[in-house]
Chain A
Amino acid sequence: MNSPQTASAAALKEWPLWEVFVRSKQGLEHKHCGSLHAADAAQALVMARDVYTRRQEGVSIWVVPSKAITASQPDDKAELFDPAADKIYRHPTFYDIPNEVGHM
């Protein structure tokens, strides 16, 4: 017979992985804060509440199936990101911002 430990480990393997995004009180956007295993979306939301918002971190939670995320490959790093390194003129740091505009 399975011990409780191996039984729960097996359950975790069967449960899909979810990425958790939390929006804080001050924040305008949801930020990625971690991932967890859950049987379905509703359960993932409840678990995310218990794991990631118990210190009043959030006012809104998104959970997204990890498999729905298409990620760039670490091997492609050179061709994707390095070409931007020597093009500082793409940062708008060469303009004087008129005072009337205020903080940007």
Chain B
Amino acid sequence: MDAAVVQTVRAPSAYLLHLADNALVLGQRNAQWCGHGPILEEDLAQANISLDLIGQARLLYALVASRAGDGSTEDDYAYFRDATAFGNYTLLELPQYGPLVGHAHADMDYAITITRNFLYSALMAPLWQQLAQCADADLAAIAAKSLKETTYHLRHSRDWLVKLGDGTETSHARMQAALNHLWPYTREFWTETALEQQLQAAGVSLNWHDLAEDFQALVDEGLAQSTLRLPVQEPGYTSQGKQGIHSEHLTYLLTDLQSVARAHPGAQW
């Protein structure tokens, strides 16, 4: 075989960490429902989704660690990096409540959870699909596995989006408020930063045009069924979580997530 042809393509670690951080942070957020779900079935559903996401994060962290070849492990990336080193989208770290917190009489609003899971899954389903075909074989394998899980997450969140959006007056109002609150954070999906440029340079080319179209088609279909409307997009701040510039919420979330590992570094079960 021609040696020039078998050049190994490797996605940059920063991009793998971005994907992993997305999954870990949303997994941790959704896990806040564990024991507090609105009904038992949804309690279990959110725990299942969290475990899927944390599983995806682990595979990606482990891949980064093995490629770093410096003896680091997946735990070093999950537990011993600070907020500014995390590259997740800001959307995923926001708390489980939105502007309707007073109305909802709780600091956990399922409308936020469902809407966020829907928006993230609508992005990740076509993205995993593209990555499953990419030139980085390890990443492609993780993407193929994650795609099955994400397809289910999309189905679960879309079902509830429709049920609650096209439900009672109250449920509709809460879903619309959640969408109005979260939608502007999806702008970050489409800003081109060094992350996307490095990925392209490394030989993992994504078709961002198709991705944006697929995402919008999934969103439009779900919203049409739900009788929800996208808020008018006004020019304004675009979040920059993937560049390490986060809301304050991530710090609290990470403190919760990392405190035990940091109090007892290297502890074994």
B-binding residues in A (CB < 8 A): 1, 3-4, 8, 11-12, 36-39, 42-43, 46-47, 50-51, 54
Contacts and interface: CB of A to CB of B under 8 A. Distances in A.
B205 interface: no
Contact of A4 (B41, B44, B45, B105): B105
Nearest to A36: B41
Interface in B40-55: 40-42, 44-45, 48
A8 B38 contact: yes
13 contacts: A4-B105, A4-B106, A8-B38, A8-B39, A11-B39, A12-B39, A37-B39, A39-B163, A42-B159, A47-B42, A47-B45, A50-B156, A51-B40
A54 B105 CA distance: 32
Contacts of A50: 41, 44-45, 48, 156
* Residues of B contacting A: mostly: helix
A11 B170 CA distance: 13
Contact of A46 (B38, B39, B105, B159): B159
Nearest to B44: A50
A54 to B, nearest CB: 6
**When A and B form their complex, which 3 residue pairs have the shortest distance between CB atoms, in order from nearest?**
A47-B41, A50-B45, A50-B44
Contacts of A37: 39
Nearest to A53: B48
B155 interface: yes
Contacts of A47: 41-42, 45
B155 A46 contact: yes
Nearest to B104: A4
Chain B CB within 10 A, most for which of A1, A4, A54: A4
Nearest to B167: A39
A46 B48 contact: no
Nearest to B108: A4
B38 A4 contact: yes
A37 B40 CA distance: 10
Nearest to A7: B38
Nearest to A39: B163
